[in-house]
Chains A and B, each alone.
Chain A
Amino acid sequence: MKDIYRGSLVRLCDESPEVLAKAFLKWDRDTEQHRLADSDPAQLWSEKKLKEFIEKHAEKKSQSFRFSIRTLADDKLIGGVGLWVASWTHADTWLGISIGDRDYWGKGYGTDAMRLAVQYAFIELNLRRVSLGLHAYNERALKTYQKVGFKLEGRMRGEGLRDGVRYDSLWMGILREEWLALAYAEETK
């Protein structure tokens, strides 16, 4: 069996709340990073509160699978990726990713982490579908998700409002059979 935590540029891991809280403290200062990844208002939290959030999330393990992302080259903590199983009965999960450290944007790290998270959903959780949403202005994310095999399934018109401008949100999904076909093509290449 292969090491499902290890990609070509990054590995998935679990960090202790102290380490992660320190990282978030730094990443949260970058509001572009927050506004690409999230639709909640950007906020600043104390290290103590961040640590409490992280500890609280860690308790809900049966539905939520969160990983930190470290680079293989220099073992640097650069972001996080998480699966939130919307429904075990329908075998569908939400996926969210954020590369908090902007020095690692646009260099393949996010794509590599996405591939690992999707693979985890299909071969470890044995789900049938992975779903995600993104802001229409996040073109880099759209390209990444398409590269990983996600298909556009629709858009919510004017769902977001930032700096006085309305924009759409995009919604994508990848099915188990689509992912298997891609994985097979990759292995026989």
Chain B
Amino acid sequence: MLDIQTQLFDAQDVRFGPIDHETHPEIESKWTHDAEFMRLMELKPVRPLSPAMVKKQYESIEKDMDESKNLFYFTIRTKEDDRLIGKAVVEWVDWTNGNGFLRLGIGAAEDRRKGYGSQALSMLLRYAFGELNLYRVTAVVPAYNEGAVRLFQKFGFMEEIRRRKALNRDGEIWDLVSFGLLNSEWREQVRA
């Protein structure tokens, strides 16, 4: 049972933390130089970012969180050594209708396939449904990101929209897939 004693930002091997403006820009700058990773995460044209540029982005993210009140941004850290390994985000929250969009990424190749993404998604869902009280969440994924498709399916997301031929990458045309999970569906999973 989830209750007020069950920590929101703490999982088995990873935890959520805030941005660290001192140490994180260096690490995230490295991720942005991995074009393959960035093309799984972003629909915009990818470009490598210097630590100084990442720092600026962090500042604008925190400003946006503070002012818009519809963005919730977490860094994912390993519990063992408090290393930054990724990010988990609830964004574009529509409070009137109770919707939000999820985004999640594990930055370095050596940190993938270890269950960190699943643990982070578990925390993110509990935050979206148990803390923000959203009615539903959406995750938008390029069809070529098979890892993300499998992850969201594993968590019971339903494929709701398939925007045909919405992406053009490497001269190939791909669908853009949108997955949805309702608060009620998530609660059933947690109970089981």
B52 CB–A CB distance under 8 Å: no
A139-182 Cβ-contact flags toward B at 8 Å (1 or 0): 00000000000010111111111000010000101010000000
Which residue from A39, A87, A157 sits with its C-beta under 8 Å from B97? A39
A70 CB–B CB distance under 8 Å: no
B122-156 Cβ-contact flags toward A at 8 Å (1 or 0): 00000000000001101000000000000000000
| Chain B contact residue count (CB 8 A cutoff) | 25
Could you say which of A72-80, A88-96, A111-119 contacts chain B? A88-96
Q: A87-B43, A157-B180 are in contact. Are A171 and B136 (CB under 8 A)?
A: no
Q: Is the interface of B mostly helix, strand, loop or mixed?
A: strand
B25 smallest CB distance to A (angstroms): 26
B53 CB–A CB distance under 8 Å: no
Q: Is the interface of A mostly helix, strand, loop or mixed?
A: strand
Instruction: Give complex CA distance A173, B166 in Å.
Output: 9
A131 CB–B CB distance under 8 Å: yes
Neighbouring B residues of A90 by C-beta, 8 Å: 43, 166-168
Instruction: Give complex CA distance A171, B180 in Å.
Output: 13
| Chain A contact residue count (CB 8 A cutoff) | 25
Neighbouring B residues of A151 by C-beta, 8 Å: 164
Establish whether residues B99 and A175, one from each chain, have CB atoms under 8 Å apart when the complex forms.
Answer: no
Establish whether residues B161 and A159, one from each chain, have CB atoms under 8 Å apart when the complex forms.
Answer: no
Neighbouring A residues of B182 by C-beta, 8 Å: 157-158
Question: 8 Å CB contacts to A: which residues of B153-187?
Answer: 158-168, 178, 180, 182
Neighbouring A residues of B44 by C-beta, 8 Å: 87, 89
B94 CB–A CB distance under 8 Å: yes
Establish whether residues A128 and B96, one from each chain, have CB atoms under 8 Å apart when the complex forms.
Answer: no
Q: Which of A90, A91, A171, A173 has the most CB of B within 10 A?
A: A90
B111 smallest CB distance to A (angstroms): 29
B127 smallest CB distance to A (angstroms): 20
Q: A156-B180, A159-B99 are in contact. Are A129 and B165 (CB under 8 A)?
A: yes
Neighbouring A residues of B98 by C-beta, 8 Å: 161
Instruction: Give complex CA distance A145, B162 in Å.
Output: 18
Q: A154-B160, A156-B178, A158-B182 are in contact. Are A39 and B43 (CB under 8 A)?
A: no
Interface residues of B, Cβ cutoff 8 Å to A: 43-45, 94, 96-99, 135-136, 138, 158-168, 178, 180, 182
Interface residues of A, Cβ cutoff 8 Å to B: 39-41, 87, 89-92, 128-129, 131, 151, 153-161, 166, 171, 173, 175
Can you pick out 25 interface pairs between chain A and chain B where the beta carbons lie within 8 Å of each other? A39-B94, A40-B96, A90-B166, A92-B163, A92-B166, A129-B165, A131-B163, A153-B162, A154-B160, A154-B161, A154-B162, A154-B163, A155-B160, A156-B136, A156-B178, A156-B180, A157-B136, A158-B182, A159-B97, A161-B96, A161-B135, A166-B135, A171-B161, A173-B163, A175-B164
> 4 smallest A-B Cβ distances: which pairs?
A154-B161, A171-B161, A154-B160, A161-B97
